[in-house]
Amino acid sequence: MSEAKKHKVKDIFVEGAIDPTFVSESIAKHATRMDIGAHEIFLGQVRADAIEGRAVVAIEYTAYREMALERMTDIREEAFTRWPEMTCLHVHHSLGSIAAGQLCFMVFASAAHRKQAREAVAWVVDSVKEQLPIFGKEILSDNDHVWKRNA
């Protein structure tokens, strides 16, 4: 990223699930941008996995917020350096208890062309999963829990 354009720290965290209407509103806000030819969106949803015969009913997300936001700023900077054609990058991650079936993670990128938006979103999703100190406690149907591990 050029020295002239540094991105400020943005709070990616939302309390509770990401409402599907927020996703559509995010898309609609870009309708006036004539330099955008493609949007790519990744939506993470809590799965009702079976763990030792018990269903996951929710995930309780916590994070080391300040550390996560600092690292996310670095990820954003690198994404804009790798894909300078990208015009927008939005990342949102839930905190708190998110029920199975609800949205918990959103990465939304816009660019002039689809390839840049698609590549950027895939890279940002992987980077967030690998690098941000976000922790998920999977709540099971019998009220027991296990700590989620990203694969």
C-alpha to C-alpha distance for 88 and 102, rounded to whole angstroms = 25
Q: What is the CATH number of the domain that holds 100?
A: 3.90.1170.40
Residue 22 within any structural domain of the chain: no
Whether residue 19 is contained in a domain is answered as no
Q: How many residues does the chain have?
A: 151
Asked whether residue 59 is assigned to any structural domain, the reply reads yes
> Does a structural domain hold residue 36?
no
48 domain residue, yes or no: no
Stated as kind and residue range, the H or E segment containing 118 is helix 114-131
Domain span at residue 133 reads: 53-151
pLDDT, tens digit, 9 for 90 and up, residues 17-76: 999 999 999 999 998 889 999 999 999 999 999 999 999 999 999 999 999 999 999 999
- pLDDT-based confidence at 148, cuts 50/70/90? confident
The single-letter code of the amino acid at 116 is: Q
pTM for the predicted model, two decimal places: 0.91
Residue 100 included in any domain: yes
Helical (H) or strand (E) element with 106 = strand 103-111
Per-residue pLDDT, 1? 41
Does any domain span residue 45?
A: no
Residue 94 lies in a domain: yes
List pLDDT tens digits, range 84-119: 999 999 999 999 999 999 999 999 999 999 999 999
Number of domains in the chain: 1
Extract the tokens encoding 92. Answer: 């949102």
